């Protein structure tokens, strides 16, 4: 039997458009820093709901070029039924760079403390001719967050200053831990994904020894979550071992004012672990 053209269902033509897709309730702006020539690219998501009297919790996110969209979509979907998901509406602030690439070499400077040539030479690399970008600007980056970014966000958005979190992965995870150890009042929730403790291992130990004294003067309860991918255990840096040891030492300090949790994700590596940890991280920071 021959099929006639008029037997074929009509398929509506979609107008070819070059308009870029954007996530609802998000926008971005550039924010200059005293310590660098280029500004930071700041991404912001705000919930559609009316803010509660105390404001929304806020999560500050490092490497936002790579992770902002993933985390915003997870919040948008899960915060619709917080009683089921454990994720409540929140403002998400991503700190990124003026590029469309997922990562920028500026992160090496922003996320690390000063690092000696001997330590850099001992770090695992893919080839022997590898040259590290400039490092050692973590204190400048913290100053930017505290003195430029937070005041801007708190001026323009209904933020609950008693529920502020920060999330970073890899070198960003190292930055999160060192911020906790040196400026524990900066945030109440700290999430360090696959922290690169091997970069500043000796300095981290020194900062740990000083943390107990700082914690005694902390004004708010502190929550710390450390996550790893199971397959990262094979990394030559000893990433999982370093993180486990840090968790075990830090757990000895656990009190009413300090909550510490640790989780490894089965079957996940250093990059694939990122989507896997998002829901766990959001429940930790944005739970009721």
Nearest Cα residue to 165 out of 189, 185, 183 = 189
Q: Is 270 a catalytic residue?
A: yes
Residue 219: how many other CB atoms lie within 10 Å: 9
Of the listed 106, 170, 194, 196, which one is catalytic?
170
Q: Is 272 a catalytic residue?
A: no
CA distance 262 to 179: 18
Helix residue spans in 62-163 (DSSP H): 64-78, 82-85, 106-111, 117-122, 138-144, 150-156
How far does the chain reach from its first CA to its final CA, in angstroms? 64
- Dihedral through CA 225, CA 239, CA 130, CA 138, nearest 10? 30
Of the listed 198, 223, 235, 270, which one is catalytic?
270
Of the listed 232, 235, 264, 268, which one is catalytic?
232
CA distance 107 to 138: 9
Instruction: Return left, alpha or beta for 186; rule: phi > 0 is left, psi -120 to 50 is alpha, else beta.
Output: alpha
Q: Is 130 a catalytic residue?
A: no
Q: Which residues are catalytic?
A: 170, 232, 270
């Amino acid at each position: 039997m021959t099929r006639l053209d008029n037997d074929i269902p009509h398929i509506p033509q979609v107008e070819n458009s070059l308009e870029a897709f954007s996530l609802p309730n998000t926008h971005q702006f550039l924010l200059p820093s005293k310590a660098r020539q280029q500004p930071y690219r700041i991404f912001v998501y705000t919930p559609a709901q009316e803010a509660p009297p105390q404001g929304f919790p806020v999560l500050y996110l490092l490497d936002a070029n790579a992770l902002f969209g993933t985390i915003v979509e997870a919040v948008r979907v899960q915060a619709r039924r917080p009683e089921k998901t454990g994720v409540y509406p929140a403002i998400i602030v991503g700190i990124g760079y003026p590029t469309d690439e997922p990562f920028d070499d500026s992160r090496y400077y922003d996320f690390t403390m000063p690092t000696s040539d001997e330590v850099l030479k001992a770090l695992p690399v893919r080839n022997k001719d590898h040259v590290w970008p400039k490092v050692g600007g973590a204190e400048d980056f913290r100053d930017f967050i505290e003195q430029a970014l937070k005041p801007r966000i708190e001026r323009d958005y209904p933020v609950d200053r008693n529920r502020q979190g920060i999330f970073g992965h890899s070198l960003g995870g190292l930055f999160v831990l060192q911020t906790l150890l040196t400026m524990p009042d900066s945030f109440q929730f700290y999430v360090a994904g696959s922290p690169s403790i091997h970069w500043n291992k000796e300095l981290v130990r020194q900062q740990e020894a000083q943390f107990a004294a700082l914690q005694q003067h902390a004004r708010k309860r502190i929550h710390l979550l450390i996550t790893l991918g199971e397959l990262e255990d094979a990394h030559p840096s000893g990433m999982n071992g370093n993180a486990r040891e840090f968790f075990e030492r830090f757990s000895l300090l656990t009190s009413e004012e300090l909550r510490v949790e640790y989780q490894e994700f089965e079957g996940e590596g250093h990059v694939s672990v990122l989507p896997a940890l998002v829901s766990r991280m959001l429940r930790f920071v944005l739970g009721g």
